[in-house]
A and B are shown apart, each in its own frame.
Chain A
Amino acid sequence: AQSVTQLDSHVSVSEGTPVLLRCNYSSSYSPSLFWYVQHPNKGLQLLLKYTSAATLVKGINGFEAEFKKSETSFHLTKPSAHMSDAAEYFCVVSVVFGNEKLTFGTGTRLTIIP
Chain B
Amino acid sequence: DVKVTQSSRYLVKRTGEKVFLECVQDMDHENMFWYRQDPGLGLRLIYFSYDVKMKEKGDIPEGYSVSREKKERFSLILESASTNQTSMYLCASSLQVDGYTFGSGTRLTVV
Interface residues in chain A, defined as those with a beta carbon under 8 Å from any beta carbon in chain B: 6, 9, 32, 42-44, 46, 49, 51, 90, 94, 96, 99-107
Contact = CB atoms under 8 A, between A and B. Distances in A.
A32 B103 CA distance: 22
9 contacts: A32-B97, A43-B103, A46-B100, A90-B42, A94-B97, A101-B48, A101-B58, A105-B42, A107-B42
A106 B100 contact: no
A43 B104 contact: yes
B43 A104 contact: yes
Interface in B70-111: 90, 92, 94, 96-98, 100, 102-105
B50 to A, nearest CB: 5
A83 B105 CA distance: 24
A99 B50 contact: yes
Interface of B: 31, 33, 35, 40-45, 48, 50, 58, 90, 92, 94, 96-98, 100, 102-105
Contacts, number: 46
Contacts of A44: 90, 92, 102
Given A49-B98, A94-B97, A96-B97, A106 B48 contact: no
Contact of B42 (A42, A94, A96, A104): A104
Contacts of A107: 40, 42
A43 B42 contact: no
Given A51-B97, A106-B41, A42 B104 contact: yes
